[in-house]
Each structure stands twice: as structure tokens, then as C-alpha cells.
Chain A
Amino acid sequence: NAGVTQTPKFRVLKTGQSMTLLCAQDMNHEYMYWYRQDPGMGLRLIHYSVGEGTTAKGEVPDGYNVSRLKKQNFLLGLESAAPSQTSVYFCASSYSWDRVDQETQYFGPGTRLLVL
């Protein structure tokens, strides 16, 4: 099993450009998440999904959109990139929220995004 994979690994954008980050998991997990990690801020939840076809806002959703058309994929879109969106983006997945032991989140390797 590959676990959680993310593409691309690194990207440089100019202000105003758009891009989509792709997350894929092969563990048949229901729940998927997008986080951003900035120095001194820790991991902050952007959007999440509790199943195919569903999405919900997290702590810092502004400037981002997501889609979960297939259970195994979770896409994060930036419609008009801003320098404030320079960050490391992590995707994660978990089996469920029914029990704490099923809540363990498995993270992808991250995407480093630089917006100039």
C-alpha cells in the first residue's frame, strides 16, 4: 500500500495564478483532511471531508476550495494564489470518527508551495 500520496511535492506560483493539489489514499478511509503548516502556527485545518461527495470548512478555509468526487481522492484548489498562502500543505486520512482508535490520521508527504 502506498498510504497517502500528494502531488506535486513542490510548486512555485505567481500571485493570482491558480493550481490544484491532489491527495490520494489507498486505505479505504472515509475521512480526509487538508492542513497547512506554518512556522510557529502548527497544523491548521483548511477543509475536510467525511465521505465521498461531502466537504466542510475547517479553521482556515478562505482562499481555498476542495472536492471529493471519489472516495480515494481529495483535491485542494487555490483559485487566485496570494503570498500569504505560501506554506507546506499536508493531506491526511482516517478510517472514521466513531472510535478514538479509528481516528488515527495518516499523513501524506506534503506539498511545499511558494507564492511570489
Chain B
Amino acid sequence: GQNIDQPTEMTATEGAIVQINCTYQTSGFNGLFWYQQHAGEAPTFLSYNVLDGLEEKGRFSSFLSRSKGYSYLLLKELQMKDSASYLCAVRDRRGGNKLTFGTGTQLKVEL
């Protein structure tokens, strides 16, 4: 099976930078995805990493280290609308490339 760990909750200030970490354990790693989910809404895709390094998409960046089983999502210039749950999901080729989701990190952005 897979083990995906994320912090349960984080709080940050509007305009600041926040880093949400995700660690995983799987022998068939084939990609890591980040989704954003606002309360009462569906998850929406943010980014994915297959190779080591940083992927930048506007205010959001995602980093991957396969050797360490570690990823983070970096949110810059935080806005109130960034208050949401951020889900880390791992793709495992042994499981037919299905996604396994972490429990999510609830981010609260304060003034």
C-alpha cells in the first residue's frame, strides 16, 4: 500500500508565502499531483511532478524529490481566496496508475 502524510492544518498571513509539505512511501512511484479543494466544492487540479525539481505555475510552485519521497507546494503572495484544503496525491504504476490521496492540509489565510 501507500502512506501519504501531510500536515492537517496551517495558518498564514495574506501576502506571505506558505509551504505545504507532503511525504510518501511507495515503490512504484509514477507522479505526484496537487489539488485544491474549497469548502463544499470539488477538488481542482493545481500541478503535477514526475521528475525531481521545481514546477512553477504563477503564484503556485510544486517541488519533488523522489529519493526522499518528498514534495511541497509553495504558495506566494497569499490571498484570502487561497484558504482551502490542499490535497497531495501519488500515482503508483503498481496500482494501475491510480491516484491515492492524502488527507489534505487545511490552509487558513488571515489578514
- A residues adjacent to B (C-beta < 8 A): 4, 35, 40-45, 48, 56, 58-59, 90, 97, 100-101, 103-110
Contact size range, B = 20 to 34
Q: A58-B98, A97-B97, A103-B31 are in contact. Are A42 and B45 (CB under 8 A)?
A: no
Out of A41, A43, A59, name the residue touching B87 (CB < 8 Å).
A43
Looking at chain B's contact residues, is the secondary structure mostly helix, strand, loop, or mixed?
strand
* Residue of A4, A58, A104 contacting most chain B CB atoms (<10 Å): A104
Q: How many A-B residue pairs have CB under 8 A?
A: 51
* Residue of B41, B89, B99 contacting most chain A CB atoms (<10 Å): B99
Contact A100 B98 (CB under 8 A): no
- Neighbouring B residues of A59 by C-beta, 8 Å: 100
Instruction: List residues of B (52-85) whose CB comes within 8 Å of A's CBs.
Output: none
Q: A42-B102, A48-B98, A100-B31 are in contact. Are A106 and B48 (CB under 8 A)?
A: no
Looking at chain A's contact residues, is the secondary structure mostly helix, strand, loop, or mixed?
mixed
Out of B30, B87, B91, name the residue touching A42 (CB < 8 Å).
B87
Q: A43-B87, A109-B42 are in contact. Are A100 and B103 (CB under 8 A)?
A: no
Out of A97, A103, A107, name the residue touching B43 (CB < 8 Å).
A107
Contact A105 B99 (CB under 8 A): yes
A100 to B45, CA, bound (A): 13
A111 to B66, CA, bound (A): 35
